[in-house]
Amino acid sequence: MAEPVAFIGLGNMGAPMSARLVRAGYRVRGFDLSPDARQALADAGGTAARDLADAVRGASVVVLMLPNSAVVAATVHDGQFVVEPGTIVVDMSSSEPLRTRALAAELADRGVTLVDAPVSGGVSRARSGELTIMTGGEPADLARVEPLLAHLGTTTRAGAVGSGHAVKALNNLVSATHLLVTSEAILAGERFGLDPRTMLSIFNSSSGRSGSTENKWPNFILPGTYDSGFGLRLMLKDMRIATGLADQVGAPDPLGHAATELWARAAEALEDAADHTEIVTWLRKDRS
Ligand code: NAD
């Protein structure tokens, strides 16, 4: 029987990820503010903890899959977060790299190790265990959690603690900017009289190909379902982390800032729960 794992944050991503760990034989004790999310873990064969203290008690590994750094810090600082020295905390959320480093240093004083292991791939690849996982931490610490991460996807070591979070945010800045410009191009083509499906097929065998043309447009936008499972506000959070990082290190990022500003306007206009693929509906309305 594999070691006991606490899993905090059982949302769109945390639910399928924790369920995979259960199926792999881990004793998963999970907690989420949402009773429905806790029940879903119990239905998947895990244990729904009453509260945070109940979830982390006796766990040698604590996985966090929470909305952002503020929630991660609040969780770790919660009086209920009582873990033994030697415990390893794996922050798989898309958090802020500099806050991750600070939190890791603080936890180290308590004898607790923090590594970052954010993911890319979305809900479907969380279900199939084919996530791209980018990790930050000391090699020996990462080696401790890699067998567990192997049940969730393929891991690449990015560097010291915080490095996974840095590359994750930068990836999403690229991805969001692709999606926006792809959508602008397809809407322009449509008005010219082109069929979006034909355009996508040509983009996909040309240099305009991206995750937006291969996945997001055909699977969530053309069918009009807008159900990728990744919220627009979460995407905007990642873009802000990435442009903030570029500013902190003095890297040029005029396009990143422009794209982030447009996504922020979409976030203001769309409802709170909007999927990130709904950027297209905002774009259509913005020009109608
Ligand atoms: P989500 O909003 O579906 O899930 C977050 C969960 O955290 C919710 O169930 C919420 O109830 C819970 N939660 C919030 N505060 C809590 C607290 N204090 N204690 C316990 N539970 C709490 O979000 P998600 O889509 O699962 O994303 C989680 C993280 O993964 C985010 O950082 C996101 O940016 C990242 N991410 C998401 C995707 C995606 O496709 N959805 C892909 C890659 C990375």
Query: How many other C-beta atoms can be found within 10 angstroms of the C-beta atom of residue 265?
Result: 12
Select from 268, 262, 273, 64 the least CA-distant residue to 173: 262
pLDDT-based confidence at residue 3 (cuts at 50, 70, 90):
confident
94 lines ligand 1 (CB under 6 A): yes
pLDDT mean across residues, the chain: 97
CATH code: domain 4-160 is 3.40.50.720
Percent of all residues in the chain with a pLDDT value above 90, rounded to a whole number: 98
* Residue 288 banded pLDDT, cuts 50, 70, 90: low
Ligand 1 center to 190 CA (angstroms): 35
Write down the H helix ranges in the chain: 14-23, 35-43, 52-56, 69-77, 97-108, 122-128, 139-149, 163-192, 196-203, 211, 232-249, 254-269, 279-286
Pairing of strands 61-64, 88-91: parallel
Backbone torsions φ then ψ of 109, nearest 5 degrees: -65, -25
Q: Using a pLDDT cut of 70, give the percent of the chain over it.
A: 99
* pLDDT at 172 (0 to 100): 98
Residue nearest atom 40 of ligand 1, based on CA coordinates: 122
pLDDT band at 66 (very low <50, low <70, confident <90, very high): very high
Strand partners, 131: 153
b/e code 141-160 from CB counts within 10 Å (16+ = b): bbebbeebbebbbebebbeb
DSSP-assigned letter for residue 278: G
User: Which of 8, 13, 54, 227 is the pocket-test mutation for ligand 1 (most atoms within 8 Å of CB)?
Assistant: 13
Note whether 47 and 39 are within 8 A (CB): no
At position 87, the amino acid (one-letter code) is T
Which atom from ligand 1 is nearest to the alpha carbon of 75?
A: 18
Residue 192 has pLDDT above 80, yes or no: yes
- Mean pLDDT value across residues 145-155: 98
Residue 259 pLDDT: 98
Between strands 88-91 and 27-31, the pairing is: unpaired
pLDDT interval class at 161 (50, 70, 90)? very high
- Any idea what DSSP says for residue 58? T
Q: Is 287 buried (19+), middle (13-18) or exposed (0-12) by CB count in 10 A?
A: exposed
Domain(s) of CATH 3.40.50.720: residues in the chain: 4-160
For residue 286, what pLDDT is reported? 75
Region 263-271: mean pLDDT is 97
CATH 1.10.1040.10 location in the chain:
166-287
Mean pLDDT value of segment 205-226: 98
The alpha carbon of 285 and the centre of ligand 1 are apart by a number of angstroms equal to: 28
Query: Can you say how many angstroms the Cα of residue 31 is from the centroid of all Cα atoms in its chain?
Result: 18
Instruction: Calculate mean pLDDT across residues 161-175.
Output: 98
* pLDDT given at position 173: 98
The yes or no reply on domain 166-287 and CATH 2.60.40.790 is: no
Q: Is 117 in the pocket of ligand 1 (CB under 6 A)?
A: no
Give catalytic residue positions: 168
Q: Shortest CA distance to 247 belongs to which of 134, 96, 118?
A: 96
Kindly report, residue by residue over 113-125, the tens digit of the pLDDT: 999 999 999 999 9
The pLDDT of residue 1: 54
- Condensed to tens digits (0 to 9), the pLDDT of residues 236-245 reads 999 999 999 9
pLDDT at residue 270, rounded to an integer: 97
Minimal-distance CA residue to ligand 1 atom 12: 9
